[in-house]
Amino acid sequence: MRYVSTRDLDGQSASFSDILLTGLAPDGGLFLPEHYPQVDSATLARWRRVLDEDGYAALGTEILSLYIDDIPTDDLRGICERAWNGEVFATDEVVRVSKLPESSDENGGIWLAHLSDGPTAAFKDMAMQLLGQLFEYELARRGTTMTILGATSGDTGSAAEHAMLGREGIDVFMLTPAGRMTPFQQAQMFSIDDPHIHNIAVAGVFDDCQDLVKAVNGDAEFKQRHRLGAVNSINWARLVAQVVYYFAAWLRVTSALGSDDRDTRQVSFAVPTGNFGNICAGHIARQMGLPIKHLVLATNENDVLDEFFRTGVYRVRASSETAQTSSPSMDISKASNFERFVFDLLGRDVARLRKRFVDQLGNEGEFDLSMTPEFATLGERFGFLSGSSNHADRVMTMRGLHADGVLVDPHTADGITVARDFRAEEPMIVLETALPVKFAETVVEATGVEPEVPQRFAGLLEADRHVDDLPNDAAALKEYIAARV
């Protein structure tokens, strides 16, 4: 399998191992495989047996081997087994599913795919644990080192730092929007005291942090000299790791429903998203042939993506227009993964893609696809629906679920809120994003109870903090990195 950049007019390609360490393409584009491998009902039936008999890591090996052909299969299996197991995650299943009590059996109901049983209690652990193993493997194979530069709106940072902690040859520099994360999220990151982990609070919002990462990566000489790599979902390896849990959730829900047509049965997924990474993995799974009827995109008050899927206009917001909400991990107004989907939407036409993301977005801050034939058939071709949720919505959803004995975090509540608006004949699987403990203030407001703190996080909020403040300035960031690697 070879990989191409969304912005490369020359059609050059690269191997998986090369793009693993590169992250962002040299031309500023994002890597995608030359094609999406196709699976049929017979393959899905076989993968059902693999998951039942051999577990999540075995399923992951099957799926990832379709995209990774420059790592020997036995080595890839070992990487998956070290990333996804019952010692790293709270359950041997790695990804559990459960049905919401409000759901009727008439149409299969609403289900939760539990993705937050990892070491930092967020779905980001699902991909980061694999990424840490892949980085360590490839760096050792090449005899080199790596400097990871990333940005986080809350959960990516802690998941990345815990996945990279203690790994040979890796330094991590993680940008956070100053004062924009919950106390628990800050504590998870800033409590780490390690010479190779560097937390940086930037004066701005997440989009500013993300722009700094792209600006520094755009300096080719600096990137090469310091061997910069990425853990954000601009890195294809991070995204393809997330594809696995769509297949696992589909397999487990259709098995639980026990229907005769389980190997072809359609489901829909509702996905809380701000950066389009989580739902982009669902788009890829659907393109591969997983029987997904609809991908229901759920945003919070920062509804840039919902606006596009309703109107065809993609309009990024300035920092001053990005609301600070009670689902802060989705306080994003510039979705870095969205370019991958638009590339597919436009038939992988690089010139048309560049016109939108380089010319129009760079100059006007928006582009409009509303009058194109591609947008007119978007829902039919790709299955997307969208909606948004606000603070009152998520609090009401959390309160109602708690009355039924289910406690969820505010981002998952956004997903459930929007999922309810699109109930249909097929089962709906909502992707859980984090454990409630990470957002205790909103949980208490909604339910009146303090969320349970898992034993592994006892004393976390009282731990010493290790974080440096920086201005929103690429030159200052480069100086900071150069002084520490």
CB 77 within 8 A of CB 61: yes
- Identify the burial level of 81 via C-beta atoms within 10 angstroms of its C-beta, where 0-12 means exposed, 13-18 middle and 19 or more buried: middle
- Specify whether 124 is catalytic: yes
CA dist., res. 306 & res. 230, Å (int): 27
Residue 248 parent element (H or E): helix 236-257
Q: Which residues pair with 350 in a beta bridge?
A: none
Closest to 408 (Cα-Cα) out of 428, 445, 437: 437
Quick one: tokens of 336? 């870095």
Side-chain half-sphere CA neighbours of 256 within 13 A: 20
| Residue that has been written with the tokens 């990804």 in this structure | 95
CA dist., res. 65 & res. 337, Å (int): 23
Q: Which of 99, 124, 223, 438 is catalytic?
A: 124
Contacts of 132 (CB under 8 A, 6+ apart): 83, 163, 164, 167
Angle at the Cα of 39 from the Cα atoms of 36 and 43, rounded to 5 degrees: 150
CA dist., res. 257 & res. 260, Å (int): 9
CB 242 within 8 A of CB 220: no
| Residue that has been written with the tokens 């975090």 in this structure | 409
Cα 6 from chain centroid (whole Å)? 19
Q: Please report, as a single letter, which amino acid is at residue 65.
A: S
Q: Give the residue numbers marked as catalytic.
A: 124
